[in-house]
Structure 1
Amino acid sequence: MFTGIVQATCELVALEKRRGMHTLAVSLPAELREGLTLGASVANNGVCLTVTRVEDDRVFFDVMEETLTLTNLGTIAPGDQINIERSLTFGKEIGGHLLSGHVHCQAVVERVTDVGEQRDLHLRLPNEWMKYVLYKGFVAVNGCSLTVGEVFDDGFMLHLIPETLRLTNLKDAVAGTQLNIEIDSQTQTIVETVERVLAARQ
């Protein structure tokens, strides 16, 4: 489990592409490698990946074909910055909302607007996921726990404060950028429960 509070943006320093799988080598600072063991879970752009090897400051992750297709990890390249969060430790503060690290889909940035120090992102989302996106609700974007702004028929707005821009790779988003989306599990459960109840009454 994760909280959606990104701990660092870290560089993808190497990428090995094989049939049906890529291996990522990400350079993590010492504080994020402390206590990190093989088999540990780490969110990369919101995707829960398993540590397969640690060499000096490089941490390695294997990414399977389905994940490469569903998420933006299939299009990253060495030199790109990745949002990193270690898995939740019992007793730690939950500053965002609970995440599984299982990305549902990708959103496309339609427009980026700077409003003073704030930055607004207008995202377009596949239609089947829009029913789970509610004004002032939670959504995880590239692993960041964020509050939904205005909601449209085909997408929604994000209003990013300077601290979010400083700590995450959302500052690099431009029109056409694809961002990983994990829908809030509680919202999804409520919506689907209501749908089942209404369907049963018909």
Structure 2
Amino acid sequence: MYTGITRGAFPVANVSRQPDLLTYDVELPEALLEGLVSGASVSIDGVCQTVVAIEGSLVRFDAIAETLQLTTLGDLAPGQKVAVERSSRVGDEVGGHDVAGHVSGTGRISSRKVDGHVWDLEITVPARWMRYISTKGFIAVDGSSLTVGERDASGSFWIHLIPETLRLTNLGEKNEGDRVNIELDARTVAIVDTVERVLAERDA
């Protein structure tokens, strides 16, 4: 489990591709390496990944076919920066919201606006997701806990990024047309699905 407060964006060092497996290394600073062991869970661009090896500052991960199909990890290339968060521990401050690292799928940046220090991104997603996305609600974009700004029920929403968010994530490097990982808020999904089911059963 994660809090959606990423600790920075760090470079991918190596990428090895096989038909059903992608292996890649991420170079992490000493602060994020402390206590990290093989088998630990780390959020990489919002995707829960298992550490398979540690060699110096390089941490290795594997992504299998299902992960590659549902997320952007299949697009990774050496030198590209990914947003990283270590798994949360009991007693840690939850500065964002509960994020599982189980990505719902991907969205695409359809518009980017920069107004002084604030960056605005419009993200297009499948229209069926919009019943789970509400103005001022939580959403995780590449693992970052963000507040939904404006929304269009036809299939898009805006997020507004302050300088600190841009500093600690890779969202400032995204361009129009780029894909991002989206994790819908699990509590919202559960509530909406339950209400819809109860209403459907009542009207049946």
CA distance, structure 2, for counterparts of residue 114 and residue 124 of structure 1: 18
CA distance, structure 2, for counterparts of residue 7 and residue 68 of structure 1: 23
- In structure 2, the partner of 1:170 is 171
CA distance, structure 1, for counterparts of residue 124 and residue 19 of structure 2: 31
CA distance, structure 2, for counterparts of residue 131 and residue 74 of structure 1: 28
Letter in 2 for 1:14: N
Secondary structure at the aligned position of 2:193 is classed as: helix
Deviation readout 1:70-125 (Å, 9 max, x if unpaired): 10101111110000000001111010000110000111000100112101001100
- In structure 1, the partner of 2:8 is 8
- In structure 2, the partner of 1:41 is 41
- In structure 1, the partner of 2:149 is 149
Deviation readout 1:137-162 (Å, 9 max, x if unpaired): 00000000000000102110001111
Which structure 1 segments of 5+ residues have no match? none
CA distance, structure 2, for counterparts of residue 165 and residue 107 of structure 1: 19
**How much has 1:40 moved relative to structure 2?**
0.2
Q: Spell out structure 1 runs of 4+ moving beyond 3 A.
A: none
CA distance, structure 2, for counterparts of residue 177 and residue 159 of structure 1: 17
**How much has 1:20 moved relative to structure 2?**
0.2
**How much has 1:201 moved relative to structure 2?**
1.0
Secondary structure at the aligned position of 2:151 is classed as: coil
Secondary structure at the aligned position of 2:84 is classed as: strand
Which structure 2 segments of 5+ residues have no match? none
Aligned-residue sequence identity (percent) comes to 47
Letter in 2 for 1:93: E
TM-score normalized with structure 1 length:
0.99
Equivalent residues in 2 for 1:1-202 (5 A)? 1-152=1-152, 153-202=154-203
- Cα RMSD of the aligned pairs, angstroms, is 0.6
Number of aligned residue pairs: give it.
Answer: 202
Secondary structure at the aligned position of 1:146 is classed as: strand
